[in-house]
């Protein structure tokens, strides 16, 4: 009994160390399993063999004297009172690809799906090794009477192999150890080896229904890999869009500040004219009121910009305290100097590309196939359950030589089980519902395709409108500047009122805002349009490259022809 107690104590003390090592080992095995599943899916779906790592590795925070910082390339971003760093568009994307929580969520979501698929794949390709080890030890003491020690250990191993036709083969080997802890004389060991095979002959047989769930899981993993790659592209495009929208806010803020400077000059000029009797007092009040309204709007614009900047930092995965901002005005000036890049794609071509490149089209086609397949699976439920069962077992040599199996004393079994429900109402309703679901899936798919065509056409027209708007806004700014200058000169000469100058000032500010909005709108709309069509590609650092050929799912169509319907 002392030996038993000591063994239990040592086991309790050793278990944390053993468990720590085992959990770490199992975690690494899980990473290998999921990574291997995704790498295999990458090869089958995308034709690439790049490794997959779900580890979150944001840019590390380094503690410098009294100032924590983050180093990105050759730039040092302060998280305290350091200087503000201006980020270029691609630098913002690079930070987002490392730090973004949204992108990491998508990565881990794909990783979890791969874990599920790799787990479900067991016992299909090769026999699944499993089993348990159960043990129990008890000490019984009767008051003023005898005591009793009993220990049992029941380890067993199983091998399970599943077949596409619904059959299941199971082989098992089990031990039964009983001891009173008095030594070998008080210990008995028994063993049993057995194997069973079950094959459905009617319901669930020969039509691949047993493999259907695993089939969908593996196919959906390939679709998820494709969708993840597309998400990276659209994510990069969205970061750049948010970046330029933030610069647009900053540009409006600067335009408002410059407008206030000119309004102050107008107010001074108007006061001179009013004091000289050349203009009525109401023009001075109007000029002053416009100045006050502009200053109020400036405060609101400043607040909106600061809120937008903080939100953008969160989107990038940076702390709100990070001292960063967009590269204004250089980034906007580069867009203007570069001009509007043409879209070398016609409207009907864009629609065709969308049908062969958008991940949502891919998923809808898969859903349509599954709805059709569900009708067949529901019809299969009308068949009776008729299973063939075969088995064989052989015990070991008791009580000591358990390792010697008595095959000459084996037991063979063969039988069949039959079950048929006379009330088929539930199966009937399920079958009819599956037919209705399939009809609805066809209607939804048709409507979905119409909406895809509509979305592509709307985006294409919006892009064309943005280009025309930019050309008009350039002319509009030229006219607004000339009008503002002319109104100011005419006011000094007494040929124009303060109202004319104030209206010209508002027109100039709106035209300048409109020009920035037009160039940003065209750039971001074009980028989002190309990303949606799979015509851009984002590398590991988030750098975007335009593609001549769309990033489509031709490889998936070869594996699953119904995806190309």
Output the tens digit of pLDDT for each of the chain's 565 residues.
Answer: 444 433 433 344 444 444 455 677 778 888 888 888 998 999 999 888 878 889 999 999 988 877 899 998 888 999 988 899 999 999 999 999 999 999 999 999 999 999 999 888 888 888 888 999 999 999 888 888 888 889 898 999 999 999 989 999 999 998 888 888 887 777 888 888 999 999 999 999 877 899 999 999 999 999 999 999 999 999 999 999 999 999 999 999 999 999 999 999 999 999 999 999 999 999 999 999 999 999 999 999 999 999 999 999 999 999 999 999 999 999 999 999 998 999 989 999 999 999 999 999 999 999 999 999 999 999 999 999 999 999 999 888 766 677 677 888 889 999 999 999 999 999 999 999 999 999 999 999 999 999 999 999 999 999 999 999 999 999 999 999 999 999 999 999 889 999 999 999 999 999 999 999 999 999 999 999 999 999 998 877 777 889 888 888 899 999 999 998 6
My answer on whether 330 and 262 are in the same domain is: yes
- Domain's final residue, options 397, 419, 441: 419
Quick one: three-class SS letters along 460-487?
Answer: HHHHHHHHHHHHHHHHHHHHHHHHHHHH
Q: d(Cα 286, Cα 498) in Å, to the nearest integer? A: 8
My answer on whether 516 and 466 are in the same domain is: yes
- Close Cβ partners of 398 (under 8 Å, ≥ 6 residues apart): 188, 189, 190
- 123: helix, coil or strand? coil
Q: d(Cα 162, Cα 193) in Å, to the nearest integer? A: 20
Domain assignment of residue 286, yes or no: yes
Name the residue range of residue 133's domain: 128-162+167-203+385-419
Domain assignment of residue 208, yes or no: no
My answer on whether 401 and 507 are in the same domain is: no
Domain assignment of residue 57, yes or no: no
My answer on whether 336 and 363 are in the same domain is: yes
pLDDT confidence of residue 400: 64
Domain assignment of residue 307, yes or no: yes
My answer on whether 401 and 374 are in the same domain is: no
Strand-pair category, 147-162 with 168-179 = antiparallel
My answer on whether 173 and 317 are in the same domain is: no
The two three-digit tokens of residue 13, written as one number: 């003390």
- Domain's final residue, options 399, 419, 439: 419
My answer on whether 236 and 343 are in the same domain is: yes
My answer on whether 434 and 313 are in the same domain is: yes
My answer on whether 157 and 26 are in the same domain is: no
Please provide residue 208's backbone torsions phi and psi, each rounded to the nearest 5 degrees: 75, 10
> What DSSP letter does each residue of 80-147 carry, written as one string?
SSSPPEEEPHHHHHHHHHHH-HHHHHHHHHHHHHHHHHHHHHTTTSSPEEEEEEEEEEEEEE-TTS-E
End-to-end CA distance of the chain: 73
What are the distances in angstroms from CA 267 to CA 12, 432, 501? 86, 78, 10
- Indicate which CATH number applies to the domain containing 91: 1.20.1600.10
- Asked if the bond preceding 489 is cis, omega within 30° of 0, the reply is no
My answer on whether 231 and 257 are in the same domain is: yes
How many domains does the chain contain in total?
Answer: 3
Q: d(Cα 332, Cα 338) in Å, to the nearest integer? A: 10
Which residue, 87, 21, 33, 35, is CA-closest to 59? Answer: 87
Q: d(Cα 183, Cα 294) in Å, to the nearest integer? A: 97
The two three-digit tokens of residue 96, written as one number: 């987002």
- For residue 285, how far is the Cα from the chain centroid? 57
My answer on whether 473 and 354 are in the same domain is: yes
Domain assignment of residue 449, yes or no: yes
The two three-digit tokens of residue 331, written as one number: 């980034």
Which residue, 533, 526, 206, 205, is CA-closest to 357? Answer: 533
Contact (CB, 8 A) for 141 and 167: no
Domain assignment of residue 211, yes or no: no
pLDDT confidence of residue 20: 52
Contact (CB, 8 A) for 505 and 266: yes
Domain assignment of residue 210, yes or no: no
User: Whats the size of the chain, residue-wise?
Assistant: 565
- Domain's final residue, options 367, 396, 419: 419
My answer on whether 345 and 363 are in the same domain is: yes
Q: d(Cα 297, Cα 115) in Å, to the nearest integer? A: 53
What are the distances in angstroms from CA 462 to CA 186, 297, 487? 88, 29, 35
- For residue 522, how far is the Cα from the chain centroid? 27
Domain assignment of residue 546, yes or no: yes
């Amino acid at each position: 009994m002392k030996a038993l107690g000591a063994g239990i104590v040592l086991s309790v003390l050793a278990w944390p160390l053993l468990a720590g090592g085992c959990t770490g080992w199992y975690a690494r095995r899980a990473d290998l399993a999921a990574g291997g599943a995704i790498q295999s899916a990458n090869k089958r779906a995308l034709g690439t063999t790049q490794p997959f790592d779900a580890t979150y590795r944001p840019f590390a925070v380094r503690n410098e004297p009294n100032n924590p910082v983050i180093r990105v390339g050759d730039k040092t971003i302060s998280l305290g009172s350091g200087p503000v760093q201006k980020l270029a568009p691609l630098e913002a994307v690079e930070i987002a690809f490392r730090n973004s929580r949204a992108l990491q969520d998508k990565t881990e979501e794909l990783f979890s799906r791969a874990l599920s698929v790799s787990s479900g794949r067991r016992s299909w390709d090769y026999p699944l090794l499993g089993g348990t080890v159960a043990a129990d030890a008890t000490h019984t003491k009767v008051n003023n009477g005898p005591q009793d020690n009993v220990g049992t250990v029941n380890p067993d191993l199983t091998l399970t192999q599943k077949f596409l036709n619904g059959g299941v083969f199971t082989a098992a080997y089990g031990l039964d150890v009983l001891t009173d802890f008095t030594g070998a004389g008080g210990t008995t060991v028994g063993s049993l080896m057995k194997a069973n095979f079950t094959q459905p002959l009617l319901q669930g047989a020969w039509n691949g229904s047993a493999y259907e769930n695993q089939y969908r899981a593996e196919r959906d993993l390939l679709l998820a890999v494709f969708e993840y790659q597309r998400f990276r592209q659209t994510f990069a495009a969205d970061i750049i869009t948010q970046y330029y929208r933030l610069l647009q806010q900053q540009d409006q803020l600067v335009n408002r500040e410059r407008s206030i400077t000119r309004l102050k000059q107008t107010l001074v000029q108007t006061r001179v004219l009013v004091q000289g009797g050349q203009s009525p007092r109401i023009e001075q009040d109007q000029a002053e009121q416009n100045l006050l309204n502009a200053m109020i709007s400036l405060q609101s614009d400043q607040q909106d910009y600061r809120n937008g900047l903080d939100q953008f930092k969160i989107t990038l995965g940076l702390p709100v305290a990070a001292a960063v901002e967009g590269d204004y005005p250089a980034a906007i000036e580069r867009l203007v100097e570069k001009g509007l890049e043409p879209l070398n794609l016609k409207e009907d071509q864009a629609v065709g590309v969308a049908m062969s490149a958008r991940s949502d089209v891919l998923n809808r086609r898969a859903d349509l196939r599954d709805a059709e397949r569900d009708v067949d699976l529901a019809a299969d439920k009308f068949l009776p359950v008729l299973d063939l069962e075969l088995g064989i077992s052989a015990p070991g040599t008791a009580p000591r030589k358990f390792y010697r199996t008595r095959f000459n004393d084996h037991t063979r079994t063969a039988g069949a089980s039959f079950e048929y429900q006379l009330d088929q109402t539930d199966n009937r309703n399920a079958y009819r519902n599956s037919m209705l679901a399939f009809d609805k899936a066809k209607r939804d798919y048709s409507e979905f395709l119409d909406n895809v065509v509509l979305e592509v056409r709307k985006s294409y027209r919006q892009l064309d409108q943005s280009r025309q708007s930019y050309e008009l806004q350039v002319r509009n700014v030229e006219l607004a500047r000339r009008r503002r200058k002319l109104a100011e000169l005419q006011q000094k000469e007494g040929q124009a009122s303060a109202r004319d100058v104030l209206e010209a000032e508002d027109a100039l500010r709106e035209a300048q805002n409109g020009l920035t909005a037009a160039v940003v709108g065209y750039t971001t709309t074009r980028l989002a349009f190309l990303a949606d069509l799979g015509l851009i590609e984002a590398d590991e650092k988030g750098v975007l490259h335009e593609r001549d050929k769309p990033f489509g799912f031709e490889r998936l169509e070869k594996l699953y022809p119904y995806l190309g319907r």
